[in-house]
Structure 1
Amino acid sequence: MGHLSARSVVQGNTKAPLGLPHADGGLPGPAVGGAGVLPVIERRLTAIGRATLSVPARQALADRQLTEGRSVLDYGCGRGGDVRALKRLGCTVVGWDPYFCPGGRLEPADVVLLTYVLNVIEDPAERRMTISRAWELATSVLVVSARLTWEKSKVSGEAYGDGLLTSRRTFQHLFGARELRSYVEQATGARVVSAAPGVVYAFKAEEARLAFLAQRIVPDAEWLVSADTTSAIAALVHYVERRGRPPRLEETPRETAELLAHFKPRELKQLMRESADPEAVAEGAKRSTLNALLYLAVELFNGRGPFGSLPHSVQLDVRAFFSSYREACRRSDRLLLKLRDDGYLRGAMNASSVGKLTPTALYVHRRAVDRMPTVLRLYEHCASIAAGRPQEWTVTKLRHRGREVSWLDYPDFDRDPHPRIHSSYLVDLKSLEASHTSYAHSTNRPLLHRKHEFLARDDPDAPRYRRLTEAEVRAGLYDHPHLIGTEDGWEAELVRCGRRLRGHRLVRRTAD
C-alpha cells in the first residue's frame, strides 16, 4: 500500500565514548589563529545547571515516552539537572557524562535522551559515532534534541569546521530542522518523528512509532468512571456515541468490563441499541472515519506500513468504517493529494466553521483546531510531523498558497482583550525547513482584534469577545484597519476615539 510519495505531494566505532577529550583537551580540527595551532575546545563549559526539566525532557514526558516502568539513560547528562528532576517524578533514570558523571552506568535503557549533545561535538566523525552509540543503547526510543539555526543570533564566534568556535572556546553546530531529522534517520536507519522544534524521536519498533502518531492524531475515546453497573452501562453508551462503534473487550477499562461481565453479548448489544442516541452514534462514526483517514494520510507522509502494523484501535476503526484497508488507503491518498490544490484548500477554509480567514491565510485557535475540515487538520499535522509543533502556541496560521504553517504564541490570549504576540514558529512544507521569530523584547508588537473569530462559535468565551468587538466597531475603532495592527497604532486609535479598555469592556476615556 501507499507507493505515493507524500513529500512530493508538498514538495564506525560505536563504542567510542561520548565527548572523550584527547590528552591536550581538544580534538582534531581545522587550525585557528595560526598555522598548525589547534584550539582547545572546552565542551564541559556548554553544560548548564537546570532547576527544572529541559524542553526535550518535558516534551518526552508530555508525549508519554517517559512513563512509570520505563528505564531512562541521559547520555551526556551534563550537570545532571534532568536526571535529578526525573527521579523526583518517579522515573528510573541514570545519567552518564564524560566530564561530570564518568562513573554513570552505560547500560541499555528503554529511553535514551541525547539532549543538546550533537551541537557541541566539533568532530563530525565523533558526532556520528555518538548518535550511533546512543541508538545502540536505546531499546525502545531515542530522543534527540539539538539547537537549531534560528538560534544563530544567540551564538557568536568564528567559523570552525562545520560550526562556530565561541569566545569561551566552546563549539556549536546549529542544525536546520530538516537537517536534524535527516541526520537522525541516516544514523539510526529508522523513520523518525519530529516531536517539537529541535526534538526528534527515533523508535526501535515501527509499531511504537505508529502508536505515537495515533496518540497525537486519533486520541482514544475517554471512558467515564464506572462505580456500579448503572454507571458502567452509561460509560459503554458514551463510548459508542463518541466512537461510533461498540468497543472490543481489550479497549474496555478493567473495572467497566468486570461490572458488565454478567451480561451476555447479545444483551449488551440490546442495551447499546436502546440507550445510545442514533444521531450521536452517526456523528461519532463520521468523526472516527475522518480521524482514520487523517491518520493514514499523515502516516503516508512519513511512510505507511501494512495493516497489521497499525495501532489496534485504528485497525478496528478501519474494519468498522471502510470496506477494506485498501479502500481506506485510497481515500487517504486522495485527501493528501488535495493539499496540492490551492482552490480546494481555499474552499475548505471558506467552508470552515472555525477560524479567521484573511486574504492570505486561515487563523485558528488551538481550542478549535480539531474542528477544522479534515484536509486542513492534515495540513497542520504534516507540518508538525515534519519539523515539530512548539510546546507553547495559541493560534495556528495556515497559508492557502505556499504551503506554510505557523504556530503563533499569544500567552495572554484569554486575559488580554488584544493579546500581543510573543513568538512565531513557521514550517515550509515544500522545503521542510523551519524558522522562528521572537517578539519578547520587541516594542510596538503586533496584536489581535476580533478574538471571537479565532474560536469555535460555541466556545464559552466567544460571546464575551464578540460583545467587545461590536462595541469597538460602534466606537469607530476599526474605521482605519491599517492603523490598528500594532500596539502604538491601536493606542493612538483608542485616544482618537476617546475610549480605553477595562478588561474586556470598552469604556469612555476621561481626562486625568
Structure 2
Amino acid sequence: MSGLHWESDRRLTAIGRTALSVAARQAVVDGEVNASTSVLDYGSGRGDDVRGLCGMQFQAQGWDPFFAPDATPRPADVVLMTYVLNVIEDPEERHQALQRAWGLAKRLLVVTTRLTWDRSKVQGRQYEDGVLTSRQTFQHLFSPAELRSYVEETTSVRCVSAAPGIVYAFKKDDARLRYLARKIVPHADWLASDDTGSAIAAVVGYTERRGRLPRLEEMPLEMANLLAHLRSNELQRIVKKTVDTEKLEAGVKASTLSTLLFLAVELFNGRGPYGSLPISLQLDVRTFFSSYKEACMRADRLLLKLRDDTYVRGAMQASKVGKLTPTALYVHRRAIDRIPTVLRLYEHCASIAAGRPASWTVAKLRHQGRAVSWLDYPEFDTDPHPKLHSSYMVDLTTLKTSFKSYEDSANRPLLHRKHEFLAPDDPDVSKYRRLTQSETRAGLYRNPHLIGTEEGWEAELERCGRELRGHRLVRRRS
C-alpha cells in the first residue's frame, strides 16, 4: 500500500453531534464568534456546528468534500477547521488544506485536532506519520505544541493556544493582542445604563475597577450618547467627587500589575511596539508608568524572576491564597487572580504555550522545575471530598504536555482541607474549615499516606466510626 496513491475513507470520521463542537463552543465563549461575525466551517462534516450556530442566530455556512461538496466555501470573518488536519494522510495535502482555510479567513482561523493522548482510543497500526484504522480511516495525532507550531509555520503569524488542541490564528496582530488582553487584564464590564444618572454610575464603577477614568472610545456607544451633553472636565469633576478612594487605589494596583503581566506574557510570545497595544492598555501604560519603555523594563524583570527558583518559592510561601506542599502550590480557580503576579505570569505562560483546558478547578504550580497542571474536580462545591476527574500538565522547559483521565478509575484521588485552596474571604471557607476541624478531631488525618484515594479514605472513615452527610461529619450508623 503506497501513501502516494491510497486515500483514506475520511467521510467515516465525521461524527454526528447534538451540541456544538468543543472548538465552536470555545470560540463563542471567547466572544470571537458572535452575532456580528460570519463563520465558515471548512470541512463541516455532517453540518452540526453550522446548524447549531444558525440556531443561535449566527451567520454560518459550511463546506465539506463529502457531505456538502456542491457548496462554495466563501470567505468569512471566522473560519473553523475542526478535526480536519488529523484525518488527511498525505502531508502535502494536509498543508494545502490549512493554507486554503487560512486564505478564506478574514479575521480568524480556528484550528482543532485530536491530540496524542487520544492514541489509546484509536485502534489501528502505525502508517506513515499517523495511525491507519481497520475502517480505512487515518489519524495524525498532534501534541498541543506541535499543532501550534504547525499552524504558525503555515500561516506565518504568531498563534495562541485557546485550549488544548485548539489554536487561534489571527489575520492581524492587533486582534491577537485584544484577545490576550481580555484573557489577562481583568475586563471592566460596563453596567447597563438607560439614563444620565446610571451612565455616570457606570463610569464611576469603571474608574474604581480600572484605577483611571475611561476615554470616550472605551465606552459603549449608548453610554457615550447618554453622556454627550456633559463636557469632559465636568464629567471628571463628578466622578472624582463620587469615587471611593480605597477602591480607586485598589484599581490602580490591580491595573498596574495586570499591565505588567500582559507585557511579560507578550515578550514570551513576541512583543510589539506601543502602538500595537489595544487602546485600553495604551491608556493604562500612559497612566500608571512614566513610559512604555519603563513598563517593558519592569515586565522583563518580572519574566526574569520567573526563572529564579528561590524567588518563585518565596512568592509561593508569601502567597495569601492556595495550599503549599513540598513540591507545588495548589490554587482554586476562584482565587487564581489573588496569587502574586510572578505566579500569575507562570500560569499564563503555560496557558499561552499549550492552552488552558475549558474545565478545571485547581491549578498546580510546581516550584521544582517549571510545570503547570490544571486539575478538574467537577463536584468541588458539592462534594466534601471531591474526586479528580482529569489532569492536564504542561512542562514549560520542554513544552511537553500530558493528560490523564480518572473518569473510569475505581479508586480516584480526592481532596481534603478544601478551604486551603481558596482565598480566606471566600464565602465557602468557613463551612469547609469546620469540616476539616471535625475530621481532625476524629483522627481521620493521623495516617495521611492512606487517605489520598477513595478506598483509603473510606477505610479511615470506617476505622474512626464516622460518615459524611454533606459537609457534616457524623457517627457511623451501626
Give me the TM-score of the superposition, normalised by structure 1.
0.91
Q: Which residue of the partner structure matches residue 437 of structure 1?
A: 404
- Secondary structure in structure 1 of the residue aligned to 2:228: coil
| Inter-partner Cα distance in structure 2 for 1:304 and 1:370 | 23
| Inter-partner Cα distance in structure 2 for 1:351 and 1:119 | 45
Say which structure, 1 or 2, has more relative contact order (CA 8 Å, 6+ apart).
Answer: 1
Q: Which residue of the partner structure matches residue 31 of structure 2?
A: 64
Q: Which residue of the partner structure matches residue 346 of structure 2?
A: 379
The gaps in structure 2 that reach 5 residues or longer are none
| Inter-partner Cα distance in structure 1 for 2:409 and 2:299 | 43
Q: Which residue of the partner structure matches residue 359 of structure 2?
A: 392
Task: Tell whether the 8 Å contact from 1:383 to 1:427 is kept in structure 2 after alignment.
Answer: yes
User: How big is the shift at 1:58?
Assistant: 0.7
Q: Which residue of the partner structure matches residue 270 of structure 2?
A: 303
- The one-letter code matched in structure 2 to 1:397 is K
| Inter-partner Cα distance in structure 1 for 2:221 and 2:267 | 34
Q: Which residue of the partner structure matches residue 3 of structure 2?
A: 29
Residue 340 (structure 1) aligned with residue 301 (structure 2): no
| Inter-partner Cα distance in structure 1 for 2:209 and 2:8 | 58
| Inter-partner Cα distance in structure 2 for 1:223 and 1:57 | 26
Q: Which residue of the partner structure matches residue 175 of structure 2?
A: 208
1:95-143 Cα offsets, whole Å, 9 max, x none, are: 1111111011221111111101110100001001110111111111110
The gaps in structure 1 that reach 5 residues or longer are 1-26, 31-37
1:181-233 Cα offsets, whole Å, 9 max, x none, are: 11000011010000000000111001111111011111331222223333232
User: How big is the shift at 1:445?
Assistant: 0.6
**Equivalences for 1:403-482 in 2 at 5 Å?**
403-482=370-449
| Inter-partner Cα distance in structure 2 for 1:65 and 1:40 | 34
| Inter-partner Cα distance in structure 2 for 1:391 and 1:183 | 22
User: How big is the shift at 1:372?
Assistant: 1.0
- The one-letter code matched in structure 1 to 2:252 is A
| Inter-partner Cα distance in structure 1 for 2:82 and 2:397 | 28
1:149-207 Cα offsets, whole Å, 9 max, x none, are: 11111112112111111111111111111111110000110100000000001110011
- Mean Cα deviation higher: 374-383 or 246-255: 246-255
**Equivalences for 1:44-443 in 2 at 5 Å?**
44-443=11-410
| Inter-partner Cα distance in structure 1 for 2:99 and 2:199 | 49
Task: Tell whether the 8 Å contact from 1:94 to 1:105 is kept in structure 2 after alignment.
Answer: no
User: How big is the shift at 1:39?
Assistant: 5.1
| Inter-partner Cα distance in structure 1 for 2:143 and 2:231 | 58
Q: How many pairs are equivalent?
A: 478
- The one-letter code matched in structure 1 to 2:69 is P
Q: Which residue of the partner structure matches residue 495 of structure 1?
A: 462
- The one-letter code matched in structure 1 to 2:299 is S
| Inter-partner Cα distance in structure 2 for 1:363 and 1:333 | 26
- The one-letter code matched in structure 2 to 1:483 is L
Task: Tell whether the 8 Å contact from 1:28 to 1:123 is kept in structure 2 after alignment.
Answer: no
| Inter-partner Cα distance in structure 1 for 2:167 and 2:24 | 12
- Mean Cα deviation higher: 220-229 or 233-242: 220-229
Task: Tell whether the 8 Å contact from 2:7 to 2:89 is kept in structure 1 after alignment.
Answer: no
| 1:247–1:40 CA distance, 2 compared to 1 (3 A) | closer
- Secondary structure in structure 2 of the residue aligned to 1:241: helix
User: How big is the shift at 1:255?
Assistant: 3.5
Cα RMSD of the aligned pairs, angstroms, is: 1.3
- Secondary structure in structure 1 of the residue aligned to 2:334: coil
| 1:486–1:441 CA distance, 2 compared to 1 (3 A) | same
Task: Tell whether the 8 Å contact from 1:46 to 1:120 is kept in structure 2 after alignment.
Answer: yes
| Inter-partner Cα distance in structure 1 for 2:38 and 2:7 | 36
- The one-letter code matched in structure 1 to 2:125 is E
Task: Tell whether the 8 Å contact from 2:38 to 2:60 is kept in structure 1 after alignment.
Answer: yes
Q: Which residue of the partner structure matches residue 33 of structure 1?
A: none
Task: Tell whether the 8 Å contact from 2:77 to 2:108 is kept in structure 1 after alignment.
Answer: yes
1:242-264 Cα offsets, whole Å, 9 max, x none, are: 11111111112334333333333
- Secondary structure in structure 2 of the residue aligned to 1:78: coil
- Secondary structure in structure 2 of the residue aligned to 1:305: coil
User: How big is the shift at 1:40?
Assistant: 5.6
| Inter-partner Cα distance in structure 2 for 1:402 and 1:104 | 51
Give me the TM-score of the superposition, normalised by structure 2.
0.98
1:321-369 Cα offsets, whole Å, 9 max, x none, are: 0000011111111111111111111111111111111111011111111
- The one-letter code matched in structure 2 to 1:385 is I
- Secondary structure in structure 1 of the residue aligned to 2:95: helix
User: How big is the shift at 1:316?
Assistant: 0.4
- Secondary structure in structure 1 of the residue aligned to 2:306: helix
User: How big is the shift at 1:456?
Assistant: 0.8
| Inter-partner Cα distance in structure 2 for 1:268 and 1:179 | 51
Task: Tell whether the 8 Å contact from 1:403 to 1:429 is kept in structure 2 after alignment.
Answer: yes
